Chains A and B, each alone.
Chain A
């Protein structure tokens, strides 16, 4: 479903973030990408949702090279991918409900669809009771669950989670991983970047280890390990 074909990514000052990466992720997989800070995890994910384009090689999504998507069509590609980040990226002046609804509004969904879908998805992430709360009234774990609800609202094919537990305590982190596993069980592909040993081991799924922009291990039933 997602294929990296000899991808190299250099940033402006010739800093090599990824070097000659070839990787294939199948539909319905749960892949943890681990490695130290600066190993290239975030860059790898950014290539998937086309925030960055590879310097060399190509990234394919459903057999289509992301290079071939015009800027105008790019938003439609992004609707296939739900994104979750360490810093949640919630809008502080909007309630949990509005934050999720915003994702639908921005894509031109009609009002009745919004009123129907948003409460449903918030229910799924366990925030049915807290829909009208603002982000600052929610705990870190709850905020991340709002972000997950927002990522899920388009019924994406892939969830890309970049250090989703980086700002959370162990209990909340475990809840987020469980939620990701639950989403994965329902058929959504999950890409999880993390340097948190516990949560990767808890997932106990395929682990790809990055080091200085290169893949040094790829285990189907992996454990978190860094040399």
Chain B
């Protein structure tokens, strides 16, 4: 068996080299399919990462009027903590809010200065609520508006994050759709081209195949070189595509790191590299082997 695999494999290597440009075409288009699949994978993983990031930061802030006593706020806090959708409630006092504000704007002397000139603390005490499920923020906000302490509430703040989350969800859906149709398109083209390449290999080896049959070579021995040829295409395409995804990311990540945190993209790639290679291997081998099989079925009479 090992002998058969060795002999047929070296035969397929020879075919690969002799086919020249045909091999290049087959590998290129297989590579493109895999590349699109990989990029799609990295982009959706990154978008997922961003989404998760934003969702973690999402909350509902309930601001209380300045004349509300602390006991009333604490009472509201325990009330909210009892609500089933709420994961946690954090009380931010007016002075804490001021400190946070100062820290966040430490780079903006104008703001700090105008704050000092104001003399009084203009910020409101608030409860920061996190939900178990990001989709439930609206429900929580509505709950607050109907709650017993609703008259103490100055305003409820949750809208902003909701928009971002929705936008991201749409973006992910869109990328997945476009990417998937591109991947399918390339997959079809690569099957056609690989199939054709192997068909031509079979044709140019007509006399060899005839002789092999006459001398009683097993069907496996006759077929294997063509299947190996498909696998060789796939493996080379896989190596190229992984390399190119890596290069592309190295090129793109610094450019967009101001918009998207670098770690999210890198973890989307490195954290899933085995998974990515696995997907590529399955897709590549599938395309390569399926194309060879179709060609063998149609053109290799045994």
Residues of A participating in the B interface, judged by any CB pair closer than 8 Å: 49, 71-72, 74-79, 83, 89, 91, 102-103, 105-108, 110, 150, 153-154
Contact = CB atoms under 8 A, between A and B. Distances in A.
Nearest to A111: B3
A110 B2 CA distance: 11
Contacts of A102: 211, 215
B3 A110 contact: yes
Given A105-B7, A108-B3, A154 B207 contact: no
B208 interface: yes
A172 to B, nearest CB: 22
Nearest to B208: A91
B90 interface: no
B214 A83 contact: yes
Contact of B215 (A71, A74, A77, A78): A78
Interface string B243-262: 00000000000000000000
Contacts of B218: 72, 75, 107-108
B216 interface: yes
B213 interface: yes
Given A89-B211, A102-B211, A78 B302 contact: no
Contact of B216 (A72, A78, A91, A110): A78
Interface in B182-229: 207-208, 210-219, 221-222
B4 interface: yes
Interface string B95-121: 000000000000000000000000000
Q: Is the interface of A mostly helix, strand, loop or mixed?
A: loop
Q: Give 9 closest A-B pairs by Cβ, nearest first.
A: A106-B217, A79-B216, A103-B215, A78-B216, A75-B216, A75-B218, A106-B212, A83-B214, A108-B4
B219 A72 contact: yes
Contacts of A106: 212, 215-217, 221-222
Contacts of A105: 7
A154 B215 contact: yes
Contact of A108 (B210, B221, B302): B221
Interface of B: 3-4, 7, 207-208, 210-219, 221-222, 302
B217 A75 contact: yes
Q: Is the interface of B mostly helix, strand, loop or mixed?
A: helix
27 contacts: A71-B302, A72-B219, A75-B213, A75-B216, A75-B218, A75-B219, A76-B216, A78-B214, A79-B215, A79-B216, A89-B207, A89-B210, A89-B211, A91-B208, A102-B211, A102-B215, A103-B211, A105-B7, A106-B212, A106-B215, A106-B216, A106-B217, A106-B221, A108-B3, A108-B218, A110-B3, A153-B215
Given A108-B4, A108-B218, A78 B213 contact: yes
A106 B213 CA distance: 9
Most chain A CB atoms below 10 A, which of B212, B214, B302: B214
B32 to A, nearest CB: 34
B214 A107 contact: no
Contacts of A74: 219
Contacts of B211: 89, 91, 102-103
Contacts of A77: 216
Contacts of B210: 89
Contacts of B302: 71
A30 to B, nearest CB: 21
B4 to A, nearest CB: 5
Most chain A CB atoms below 10 A, which of B4, B217, B221, B222: B217
A143 to B, nearest CB: 13
Contacts of A107: 215-218, 221
A153 B219 CA distance: 20
Contacts of B215: 78-79, 102-103, 106-107, 150, 153-154
A91 B207 CA distance: 7
Contacts of A103: 211, 215-216
Contacts of B3: 108, 110
A120 B264 CA distance: 69
A103 to B, nearest CB: 4
A109 to B, nearest CB: 8
A154 B216 contact: yes
A134 to B, nearest CB: 14
Contacts of A83: 214
Contacts of B207: 89, 91
